[in-house]
Structure formats: C-alpha cells, structure tokens
Amino acid sequence: MKSRRFVLTFPPDATGEPITYNLIKKYDIMVNIVKADVSPGKIGHLVMEMTAPAKTLKEGMEYMQQQNVECVPIDRKITYREDLCIHCGACSAVCFAGALTMNHKTAELTFEPEKCVMCELCLTACPLKLFSIDLG
C-alpha cells in the first residue's frame, strides 16, 4: 500500500459531516493529518496523508466528491519552476520536512512533493521565487 499526500479543500458551507472520521471508519483509510486550517464559514484546507489499497482510496475520494470536498494530490498544488532553478540550495535550508534536499554529487536540488508538509517556508526562502502553492 502506498501512502500519498493530498490537499483537501472544504467549501465555506461544509455540512458538518465528519469527513475524516468517515474516511477512517467507513472506508478504512489510514489517515495522517499533516496540516489543518479549517474555520467555520471559510474555505478550509487539510493536508493529509492517506494509506489504503487503490480501490478503497478511490471510494473514499468519491465520497469526498459527493461532500463537495476537493481532494487533489499535493504535487498538483505546488508549482516549482525547475526550468528556471539555479540549484543554489536556499530553499533546502528551510525545508525541515526534507522534501527539498541538495544532492551533493550532482549539486542539484531534489524535490519530493510527497514529503511536503505545506509549511510554505520555501515560497519566501527561494531567492528566485520559483515556488508557488495554489490553494484556490
């Protein structure tokens, strides 16, 4: 079973349905909340790691869709302009999650979005401003 990270976006008029509870209880998806920013009356975001067999995961995603909760793999929410990157390493200084690391042999930056915790520190740490996060 593969663990994948997703960004869940809750509409401001979320029904109050216990989405995460249901994902665990009804769909048996292993859930690890990485970051949460949910307030009543506002668009909410949850960065979440989900571990489940592909079929179960698909059912869980369909359930979220029915509840009007957008669920997108994390790498589709983060844009990294690799074509413009100079591989200085400034972003790797702040990435305590280890998603951005320098490979000393090649002297190049490695970006593993699956490790990202959406702390957003790289957005400002990159001197060329090559990262952006689109939370809609």
Partner 1 sequence: MLKKRSIEEINEKIRKGKAVVLTAEQVAAMGRESSAAEVMDKVDVVTTGTFGPMCSSGVFINFGHTTPPMRMEKITLNNVPVFGGIAAVDAYIGATETALPHDQYGGAHVIEELISGKDVLLQATAKGTDCYPLTEVKSLINKDTVNEMIMFNPRNAYQNYNVAVNSTSRIKYTYMGTLLPGFGNATFSTSGELSPLLNDPDMRTIGIGTRIFFGGTTGYVAWHGTQFNTGKPANKHGVPVGNSATLALIGDAKKMSTRFIRAAYFEKYGVSMFVGVGIPIPILDEDMARRVMIRNSQIETNITDYGSPGHDTLGQTDYKTLFSGEITLNGKKIRTAPLSSVRTAREIAAILREEIAGGRFLLTAPVENFQKTAGLNSLEIRL
- Does 81 contact partner 1 by CB under 8 A? no
Q: CB under 8 A: which stretch of 25-33, 37-45, 71-79, 82-90 binds partner 1?
A: 82-90
Residue count, binding to partner 1 (CB under 8 A): 21
Following DSSP, what letter does each residue of 47-107 receive, concatenated? EEEEE--HHHHHHHHHHHHHTT-EEEEGGGTEEE-GGG-----HHHHH-TTSSEEEETTTT
- Does 132 contact partner 1 by CB under 8 A? no
Nearer to partner 1, 15 or 110 (CB): 110
Going from the C-alpha of 115 to that of each of 5, 99, 110, 111, 112, the distances in angstroms are 8, 5, 11, 9, 6
- Does 43 contact partner 1 by CB under 8 A? no
Q: CB under 8 A: which stretch of 20-28, 48-56, 63-71, 122-130 binds partner 1?
A: 122-130
Handedness of CA 34, 45, 102, 94 (dihedral sign): negative
Give the binding site for partner 1 (CB under 8 A).
Answer: 86-90, 92-94, 96, 101-102, 104, 106-108, 121, 124-125, 127-129
